[in-house]
Structure 1
């Protein structure tokens, strides 16, 4: 990447980094308060779930395009070095996760979860025609010292194919919906082919309309007049699919050559303008979601800490025997709470078992229905077309079933999650009442500590726009199609030499059942994974209030027994803690308001090309 491109990232991402450090500082202040109160579990949760998560979060940038669109050259231009193999045929056989590393490194992650490091120079083994086995590979993790990757960006390079409708299902349904931005590559010599138009309309725009950046590659191959004509055509056609499309013409080859030679100064490749827009979008639009989520969780922690400070203040005035008795009462109550939590967990298991059983029955019915249709399908197809038609029929029919089934499963799981959250909130309110009575505070307001953080635990950046149900449906569908599609589309090809119809009727049911045998366990696995996250959340949320108050009381009791502080000193501590907490709450509330405050009016982005009547004339 050239110096100009590197400089273009500094402003927006530098501002985001500054904000991120401020948010981290505010959370660490809460952590210090929790530690001083003796709330060990809360202190650990702040560090584990908030501070560390914020530090580890990355912007996911996904590159999509048909082969021969210069995709590998474009990715290399973003990296500022020819790190990945380039060719005139499809080169990327496996998904590449490109992250920052001080030295080039590579790891292959297999479908079964096994990881295996290998020399960076052997990355090209995973290109088309290499000696690797992409079907066994989940993705390739590549570390590289590129400035763009250092700025909290994970670049996902997807396999280029000759038809995007054949793109790997897990890219379409899993990677793209969860991406923070999608770079959709178009070829300057053949802008918006019909296959690309269909893919955009049927797949991409449904889940990612607000985060697509269109990149026209090989811009330097056109002369000035051709460039004007091509840009006008691209804008006109894209405007029919998406309002106000963002379009950048680039010459990745020119940018890469400059970077390799170490040239600096102004350039006409279009890459600096693209990088400027991209980093600004990630920092200002997607970055705010990450920071807002962390600040919202911080305010939830403030509420818990306030409960702890109140408990400590009341404990100071109690006699040691009285304090011990109340701690014992709360401990027993927490043990009783464990029974309520277990009841919620059993309910989750029962409903999940029902969802999986229903899905299995639906799968069996689907297979039986398709097998019954096969004689008519085979008889109606012309003999010479059967070899191509039958696999397509099986794949298309399965995809339609899978889309409907995954939506049904996701709807059921989302309803289960919402019901569980509501029940746990009711349980927490009842716990708060009992704690208040035990501590002698009488009736309390409905618990204001937020326990509905399940969305956060599932990944708020992705769920901000699509919701738990849609996200799970996409991920599940991608997993099912990735398993079944190769079996359905390829297993029958090449087998029909001679008696096409007879062999089709014999072998198609076997192929369909083989696909179902793969898909059934995958449904169970992914539903169980969702249920496990919900189960873990129930345990954490259900015990949280009791545990934090108990830890504070025991800390106060231990200090009293040890004679470390007298009552006056402890009261002073509580007053200081209360003042610090109030200041922390004000700081976080102010930061959150400023995060979403309207930005000052500024000149339109010169780097962002939009559809305008003047551009088309």
Structure 2
């Protein structure tokens, strides 16, 4: 993998991945001999999922730390706009694409392709301009409109033919951690939890401020994000090597106070690295940029950082990603072993005996299938009956947020900017939103798990009717037996999306569509007509209450609708798992009969074929062990 002028290849990871994919393909061929179509489809899906696995690099840091310049230097070109002022930002995901493309993904699920200039407008909206009163009114209106657009956006996807991203690396640029928008900061924290590596960007001239230490302690260490690379920007601003060493030592010593393990710390010059790579890429540099051109890329500190993070991805994180597919491959081989053992046991039985047993089994399977569907429908009905409890909980949470918003507004000064008023409302409502979201998710997942345990017990009770062991002395494959957990390999969907685009902290104004959006325009009137302050405040309070009340039905409807989708999705998934088990059982017995017919009932021929398959399985097991050795 080429990062700018520095060659880094994830050779170890991709070599192991390719070998593992070949093993999965070989296992699929063996599975086809047993007519296990569901298993074949499952392993095919695993093959493509493994191919699509990517590494997430999440870049975090406060405003004015050179974060965007760092990302641009990492990518080798100016992909993100850079501003000296704090910016109103959105999450940007940078991935590989054959052509340049900017795609806005909205919380509604819709997406839209935009131009680079439109992206720059979204990504960097400067704040803090000094304006006249008339100018302020226009600016407030513009900010309200701009913020409304931002609050509808989930993230922006940037596709570009970048060498870094071509090898399944995705770079996520996040808003500043000192952003006043609580919702955007909370989204940053959520991305951190999913990161393969977090890159914390500091500035050499003001490294590890109090707020940065708090962010590190509470949000990174507190959320058990352990794979952290600390990048200190501004190496070019350190005049001597001694000064560079002092900066690194200061940061390392202070990190040791809050982090139990040693963190990787790197001093770099993003500005110089970007300039070097722009020139190496054939770009003609203007004089304003050429003055930052270093003597070599090594002088910028970037190669050392890139080599370290490349090795980490290639080895540690790469192995973590591969191990789950190795476990799945081992499970498939265990299934094949069970099939082979069943065919060994069936070798002494006549074809007619097995056909008779298959004929007796088929109506039992149909009855079991019908009974299981009734059980799943009953489970679904019981879960959907929880709607009243959901409605009561959402109503209470909504009323609590309504009161918190009113109280927060009453504490605002009438001259406060819309952004400041919005921030106070976000801070006041965040604990309520988080509590509602977490309690609702936990409760709904508990409902689902309890109902599934009950349904599984009922399904097991009807399974004995299909037990062939009492009539034919054939040791059935383990997956015929519902005493083993049928949900093995079946992942229940979590209720994490039940609140409508994940009502995260600070989402009152964006996910629910009220708060400062209405507040902002009214605030213009307050600032411009301060003599009517008392009346304006009363009008605003009433407007807030009315706005809340008008949004409740939509809010509750979204919560209930998403819960219903969650229930239906999981019930369908579980029913499919049951049907697949029943189908596999029939197909397995058919494959036993087919083997006997092909071998003309010759037990010796059957044993020889089974030994060949057994040898293939053992060879594939050895190859699996070698992949992770």
TM-score, structure 2 normalization: 0.78
1:326 and 2:343 matched: no
Q: Over aligned residues, Cα RMSD in angstroms?
A: 4.0
Paired residues for 1:258-297 under 5 Å? 258-262=276-280, 267-297=298-328
Other-structure match for 2:107 = 111
Distance 1:80 1:355 in 2: 53
Report SS of the residue matched to 1:267: helix
Cα deviation, residue 404, structure 1:
1.4
**How much has 1:362 moved relative to structure 2?**
1.9
Cα 1:424–1:281, aligned 2, differ >3 Å: closer, same or farther?
A: farther
In the other structure, the counterpart of 2:272 is 254
Query: For the structure 1 residues 516 and 188, does the alpha-carbon distance in structure 2 shift closer, same or farther, using more than 3 Å as the test?
Result: farther
Give the match for residue 603 of structure 1.
none
Distance 1:86 1:393 in 2: 28
Aligned pairs for 1:211-222 within 5 A: 211-222=227-238
Q: Distance in 1 between matches of 2:470 and 2:248?
A: 71
Task: After superposition, give the CA deviation of every residue in 1:222-257 in whole Å (9 maximum; x if it has no partner).
Answer: 323543443333334433433333322221111112
Equivalent position of 1:597 in the other structure: none
Q: Which residue of 2 aligns with 1:545?
A: 581
1: distance between equivalents of 2:359 and 2:32? 23
CA distance in structure 2 between the aligned counterparts of 1:474 and 1:289, rounded to whole angstroms: 31
Q: Check the 8 A contact 1:355/1:412 in 2, yes or no.
A: no
Q: Does 1:76 align with 2:72?
A: yes
Q: Which residue of 2 aligns with 1:488?
A: 515
Pick aligned residue for 2:63 from 67, 85, 106: 67
Q: Is 1:303 paired with 2:334?
A: yes
CA contact (8 A) 2:5 2:297 kept: no
Deviation sequence 1:462-484 (CA, Å, 0-9, x none): xxxxxx68999998343882734
- Secondary structure at the aligned position of 1:55 is classed as helix
Aligned to 1:602: none
Distance 2:180 2:323 in 1: 35
8 Å CA contact 2:406–2:541 kept in 1: the answer is yes
Aligned-residue offset at 1:266: 5.8
Q: CA deviation at 1:60?
A: 1.5
Tell me whether 1:441 sits opposite 2:457 in the alignment: no
2:195 aligned partner: 179
Shift of 1:546: 2.7
Bigger shift: residues 159-168 or 100-109: 159-168
Secondary structure class of the residue paired with 1:140: strand
TM-superposed deviation, 1:97 = 1.9
Query: Cα offset for 1:192?
Result: 3.3
Alpha carbons of structure 1 residues 320 and 454: separation in structure 2 relative to 1, 3 Å: closer
Aligned counterpart, 2:13: 16
Query: Take 2:30 and 2:355, find their aligned partners in 1: how far apart are those partners?
Result: 24
Matched, 1:210 2:226: yes
The structure-2 alpha-carbon separation of the partners of 1:72 and 1:4, relative to structure 1 and needing over 3 Å to count, comes to: closer
Retained in 2: the 8 A contact 1:6–1:147? no
Deviates more, 1:440-449 or 1:398-407: 440-449
The normalised TM-score by structure 1 is 0.80
Q: 1:55: Cα distance to partner? A: 0.9
- 3-state DSSP class of the match of 2:520? coil
Distance 2:55 2:277 in 1: 24
Q: In 2, are the aligned partners of 1:99 and 1:142 still within 8 Å (CA)?
A: yes
Please name the residue that 1:397 is paired with: 428
Which of residues 231, 238, 249 is equivalent to 2:255? 238
User: Partner residue of 2:442?
Assistant: 411
Q: Paired residue for 2:367? A: 336
| Greater mean deviation of Cα atoms: 372-381 or 60-69 | 372-381
CA–CA distance in structure 1, aligned partners of residues 418 and 122 of structure 2: 30
Residue 287 of structure 2 corresponds to which residue in structure 1? none
Q: Which residue of 2 aligns with 1:535?
A: 571
Structure 2 residues not aligned, in runs of 5+:
127-144, 282-294, 527-531
1:215 Cα deviation from its structure 2 partner? 1.9
Whole-Å separation in 1 of the counterparts to 2:219 and 2:555:
22
**CA distance in 2: counterparts of 1:352 and 1:173, whole angstroms:** 32
Distance 2:92 2:203 in 1: 21
**Which residue of 36, 40, 58 maps to 2:37?**
40
Matched, 1:88 2:75: no
Cα pair 1:378 1:386 within 8 Å, conserved: no
The equivalences for 1:373-388 within 5 A come to none
Q: Residues of 2 paired with 1:216 and 1:485: CA distance?
A: 38
SS at match of 2:229: strand
SS of match in other structure, 2:299: coil
Kindly state the Cα deviation for residue 19 of structure 1 after the two structures are TM-superposed: 1.6
Q: Partners in 2 of 1:76 and 1:385 — Cα distance? A: 36
Task: Quote the Cα distance in structure 2 between the aligned partners of 1:376 and 1:348.
Answer: 43
Residue 476 of structure 1 aligns with which residue?
502
The structure that has the greater radius of gyration is 2
| Aligned counterpart in structure 1 of residue 389 of structure 2, from 353, 358, 365 | 358
Aligned-pair distance for 1:293?
1.0
The match for 2:138 is none
Pick which of 517-526 and 503-512 moved more: 517-526
Shift of 1:386: 11
* Pair 78,449 (structure 1): closer, same or farther in 2 beyond 3 Å: farther
- Structure 2 distance, partners of 1:530, 1:391, is 32
Which residue of 1 is the match for residue 547 of structure 2?
Answer: 511
Bigger shift: residues 329-338 or 314-323: 314-323
* Distance of aligned partners of 1:417 and 1:21 in 2 relative to their CA distance in 1, 3 Å threshold: farther
> Cα distance 1:353–1:532, how it changes in 2: closer, same or farther (>3 A)?
closer
Distance 1:212 1:438 in 2: 61
Q: How far apart in 2 are the matches of 1:25 and 1:582? A: 15
Larger mean Cα displacement after TM superposition, 385-394 or 360-369: 385-394
Measure how far apart 1:400 and its partner are: 0.9
Name whichever structure is richer in helix by fraction. 1
Q: How many Å apart are 1:46 and its aligned residue?
A: 0.6
Identify the range of structure 1 (50-59 vs 134-143) with the bigger mean alpha-carbon deviation. 134-143
- Cα distance between partner residues in 1 of 2:297 and 2:415: 59
5+ long unaligned stretches in structure 1 = 459-467, 595-617
Q: How much has 1:24 moved relative to structure 2?
A: 1.8
Distance in 2 between the 1:77 and 1:416 partners?
48
The 1:405–1:82 alpha-carbon spacing in structure 2 relative to 1, beyond 3 Å, is: same
